[in-house]
Amino acid sequence: MNNIIYETKRLYTRPMTPDDSPALAAILQDADTMYAYEHAFSDEETQAWLDRQLKHYVEDGFGLWAVILKETQEMIGQCGLSMQEVEGEMLPEIGYLFNRKYWHKGYASEAAIGCRQYTFKKLNFGEVYSIIRDTNLASINVAIRNGMLARRRFVKHYWGVDMPHILFSVRNDK
Q: Model confidence over 66-90: pLDDT tens digits?
A: 999 999 999 999 999 999 999 999 9
Tell whether the model's pLDDT for residue 18 goes beyond 80: yes
- Nearest to 98, CA basis, from 119, 118, 68: 68
How does residue 2 score in pLDDT terms, banded at 50, 70 and 90? Answer: low
- Nearest to 23, CA basis, from 68, 82, 70: 68
Question: 1 in helix, strand or coil?
Answer: coil
CATH number, domain 11-171:
3.40.630.30
Domain residue extents for the chain: 11-171
Tell whether the model's pLDDT for residue 15 goes beyond 90: yes
Cα torsion 172, 82, 116, 120: sign: negative
Tell whether the model's pLDDT for residue 1 goes beyond 60: no
Q: Model confidence over 76-129: pLDDT tens digits?
A: 999 999 999 999 999 999 999 999 999 999 999 999 999 999 999 999 999 999
Rounded to whole angstroms, the Cα distance separating 173 from 38 reads 36
